Structure 1
């Protein structure tokens, strides 16, 4: 297990706050928790459908890095 600056409990609370602030506006498809690019702290992993939607999101939120993945349209089959 990697020692991180934030605990998982803190990251979950930050994730919930991020979802309250950004989810439901159509640009955020999902929000998860993973490691940041330096692998020394937790990060919010956010999925959006288009690159333009990523421009409206912050680079960090309440101390956690925001890692954005553009995944395209999600359809049920």
Structure 2
């Protein structure tokens, strides 16, 4: 759930917070080489994220979405 500490001065989730939340779903020992984020829509106080995680050989993709499946952000991490 989006809390006050996740918000920026415009009362939306700060972009860095999406990345931090997505990184919580990385496998243990995953060494990030590169990161790419797509911000789809703004999340507000009280919104709830439903994460979907796809793990491949050197990539982990985390979609932080609403209950209806529409993403707020999609973050892709790549290992070396």
Q: Give the TM-score category using the shorter length.
A: 0.3 to 0.5
Scaled by the length of structure 1, the TM-score of the pair is: 0.33
Higher relative contact order (CA 8 A, sep 6+): 2
More strand by share: 2
Scaled by the length of structure 2, the TM-score of the pair is: 0.32
